[in-house]
Amino acid sequence: MAHTFSFDGFVDEIWHALDGDPAFSLAIKQTSPGALPSAFAVTDLATASIATAGLAIAELASLLQHKDTHPSQADMPTNIPQVRVDRRLASAWFSSSYRPVGWTPAPTWNAIAGDYQGEDGWIRLHTNAPHHRKAALAVLGIAPCDANRETVAATVANWPINALETAIVEKGGCAAAMRSIREWQTHPQGLAVSNDPLIHVTKTTNLLAPKAPGTSQYGLTGSVERPLAGVRVLDLTRVLAGPVATRFLAGFGADILRIDPPEWDEPSALPDVALGKRCARLDLHEDHDRDLFRTLLAKADILVHGYRADALDHLGFGSEARRALNPGLIDVALNAYGWRGPWQFRRGFDSLVQMSSGIADAGMQTYKSDRPRPLPVQALDHATGYILAACAIRGLIERHRNGHVHQYRTSLARVAALLCQYRAKADFKSPSNSSFSELGDADYRQAVEQTGWGKVQRLLPPLEIDGVSIAWTIPAKHLGSSPPQW
């Protein structure tokens, strides 16, 4: 099918930010025309982000055809396998990758989480994590035993939204006042995000010398069929973008080891995003566990992390410390609100960034709704996840071919700006109409996966790459179900 303006724009922006050869994007083909109903080009973003991650895999697979050639003698491959992306399945994967068989998943949202009308506008409270819920209720002066939507709504109604947002954030909670796109563009953090590149790429000054095949721990270990086989990925991410990235990498053979602190859980997301991973726990405040983490980090190929920008520094694992432990480490990171500006250390999630950046307000205006209208799926999280995966893969290619070790960073807010940018250019007058049929049995694998929560069926992959297999060999399991070791 013909590419759309927004799809082409998204692919060009992402692939250019990754320093990819523009000619390679010609290998992408879309199938299943249609779009999710939205004031924004959500399906184009879903399809483009998955396609770009697939294109990076295709580039790596092409390079693996010549992996026995000395890197300094191998030209950049031009025979890129075709990448096919199903728009309907891509949109579905941006919602959930599975359907349960005989059990009911945990609710996505805590009973208090959601949008509330304040004294002068709307605000969203994110209270899924117990400590975030405690912070919001403390600011509102509501005892946990008295907390319900009615009491929260009655109290929020007496607050100016910006004042409430500030108070909750200062207390260690998560909240976002609803702003318009124009208001966000003039906000200090919105201005900082607008001046950010889509992906910050930092190349180390100490380059690894390319070595003969089989003599370097940094050589390519996969095959054309399983390009990431043997690649070790240390996953320090939470709901939802980072886990989407590492789930994608697992589908092509990467060894994913996810590390979480004691007691942390995210039951509504894990059956979806823990697919293909081993999940362990470490307390990085304890000396023994810190030593274990150093050992894991020293042997990793890729680190993907989604802590706030200063969190690893406070734990003694800042950028320089990580590089000293592992000079060949490909470092891939995200945060919520960007890497510069007054909110660069602020906690945030997809739904909050949609409120801050004007997306929820634009949906409300477009649909003439009486309340915030977010995207039909958490597209910022998912798109950011596939962009992160593409960063990791491009990092492997650069490390092998040139001895360059890269650090990559992006944010939910910058991906939101990308989505808004192409909405403005396309001058959307009304929401797009979906032509997708409902999902049915033919959209799922017939084999049943036994997860830690019950049996599921997985959606068919939205992506096909000539000669490359996408398959997950480890079912989704609970956090802490594996030991912290490679």
pLDDT score, position 78: 58
pLDDT digits (tens, 9 = 90+) for 376-422: 999 999 999 999 999 999 999 999 988 889 999 999 999 999 999 98
- Order the strands of the 98-101 sheet from edge to edge: 98-101, 455-458, 449-450
Amino acid code (one letter) for 430? S
Specify the amino acid at residue 301. D
> How does DSSP classify residue 357?
T
DSSP reduced 3-state for 375: coil
Q: Is the pLDDT of residue 427 over 50?
A: no
- Residue 208, judged by CB atoms within 10 A of its CB (0-12, 13-18, 19+), counts as middle
The alpha carbon dihedral of 425, 432, 87, 461 has a sign of: positive
pLDDT of residue 146: 93
Say which range, 88-102, 118-132, 418-432, 449-463, has the weakest mean pLDDT: 418-432
Under DSSP, is residue 99 helix (H, G, I), strand (E, B) or coil? strand
With CA atoms as reference, report the closest residue to 68 among 209, 208, 224: 224
pLDDT tier at 77 (50, 70, 90 boundaries)? low
Q: Are the CB atoms for 160 and 118 separated by under 8 Å?
A: yes
Query: Rounded CA gap, 46 and 92, in Å?
Result: 9
Strands 406-411 and 330-335: parallel
pLDDT of residue 433: 55
Work out the pLDDT band at 269, boundaries 50, 70, 90. Answer: very high
The pLDDT score that the predictor gives to residue 17 is 97
User: What span, in angstroms and rounded, lies between the C-alpha atoms of 391 and 245?
Assistant: 10
Averaged pLDDT of the chain: 92
Provide the whole-model pTM.
0.95
The amino acid present at 319, given as its one-letter code, is S
CA pair distance 332, 386, nearest whole angstrom: 12
Q: How far apart are CA 1 and CA 280, in angstroms?
A: 43
Instruction: Say if residues 232 and 257 touch (Cβ distance below 8 Å).
Output: yes
* Distance, CA of 340 to CA of 335 (rounded, Å): 11
156 neighbors 118 (Cβ within 8 angstroms): yes
**Predicted confidence (pLDDT) per residue in 289-310, tens digit:** 999 999 999 999 999 999 887 8
Q: How confident is the model at residue 1 (pLDDT cuts 50, 70, 90)?
A: low
Residue recorded with tokens 């406070």 = 314
Domains of the chain, start order: 5-105+190-465 (3.40.50.10540), 114-178 (no CATH)
